[in-house]
Amino acid sequence: MNRIMYIVSLIWLSQATAFSTVPPRMTMMASSSVTKKNWFSVFSSSKDSELSRDGVMRQLEKQEADLQKRRLAAMEELSKYEANLEALQSKKAEYMASSQIAEPPAGGSFSETALRSVVKSFCWRIVAGSVTFITTLQFSGSLQTALKVVASDFFSKSVTMFIGERLMNKSQVGRKKGSDDAGRSLAKALIWRLFAIVNTLAVAIFVSHDLSIAGKIASTDAVFKTALMYFYERVWARVEWGKEYIVEFTI
């Protein structure tokens, strides 16, 4: 019995050894396969790296070309500004060297500052308000009514006249030799009076509650103040303060 068990053990051991042992040829083939895979992996990695490097270089070259193009455009623009600046400085030197530097530039185009318009509007309200006060007191016989009409006129027309001055300032029609001509002054007086007569009539009716009195006040204002404003504009046309002359210069 022991002999039989011994023989069976030998047979089982020999079979187990046969299954667990890998032939040398198979081992070499497996090693060769692994080596080929490693070389292929290295080659693929190297190729991918070269492609990636080429892509980066192309991107950098594209950005470089774009910056070069922008630099050239900026240099051209800078050259234009330098040429314009040189021409302007030359023109300035001509004006400075001129013996007529204290006189208005040829053409007489100018613009009035906002502060000049404020002062003109305020001063006119004082002059016009005095006339309105006298006419209202004359026709209504009431000091209270006269004061109310003048006060309403002062606040409403000061703002509207300032706006009118700024709008008229946008036009150079009738401006010659550094001042407004007579035609421009007359036009301003008539245009302003069309608005002012409606305003005065409405305020006078509201305060006095009498259409007859309001009509007399407005009609008297229309006659006296139109003429008065024309002369007022002629005086201001001679005032140089607040004028900004426009130099005729084309680049």
Residue (of 64, 19, 27, 176) closest to 109 by Cα position: 176
- Measured CA to CA, the distance from residue 102 to residue 105 in angstroms comes to 9
> What pLDDT score does 250 carry?
52
Residue (of 148, 151, 152, 146) closest to 133 by Cα position: 146
Residue 20, CA distances (Å) to 9, 28, 33, 34 in order: 17, 17, 21, 21
> What pLDDT score does 98 carry?
55
> What pLDDT score does 154 carry?
86
State the average pLDDT for the chain: 78
Residue (of 220, 174, 175) closest to 193 by Cα position: 220
Whether residue 24 is predicted with pLDDT greater than 80 in this model: the reply is no
Angle at 231 between CA 113 and CA 110, to 5 degrees: 25
Phi-psi region of 50 (alpha: psi -120 to 50; beta: other; left: phi over 0): alpha
Please tell me the least confidently modeled range out of 36-50, 132-146, 163-177: 36-50
Please tell me the least confidently modeled range out of 38-52, 62-76, 157-171: 38-52
| Mean pLDDT (whole number) for 187-192 | 91
State what percent of residues in the chain have pLDDT above 70: 72
79 or 15, which is more confident: 79
- Here the tokens at position 28 are 């070499």
- Here the tokens at position 141 are 């016989």
pLDDT band at 19; cut points 50, 70, 90 = very low
| Mean pLDDT (whole number) for 157-183 | 88
Report pLDDT digits (tens) over 85-126: 888 777 777 666 654 444 555 556 788 999 999 999 999 999
Residue 230 and residue 124 in contact, taking contact as beta carbons nearer than 8 Å: no
| Mean pLDDT (whole number) for 34-55 | 58
State what percent of residues in the chain have pLDDT above 90: 21
- Measured CA to CA, the distance from residue 221 to residue 146 in angstroms comes to 13
149 or 87, which is more confident: 149
- Measured CA to CA, the distance from residue 22 to residue 13 in angstroms comes to 16
* Owner of token pair 């069309």: 194
> What pLDDT score does 222 carry?
85
Number of Cβ within a 10 Å radius of residue 160: 14
pLDDT band at 22; cut points 50, 70, 90 = very low
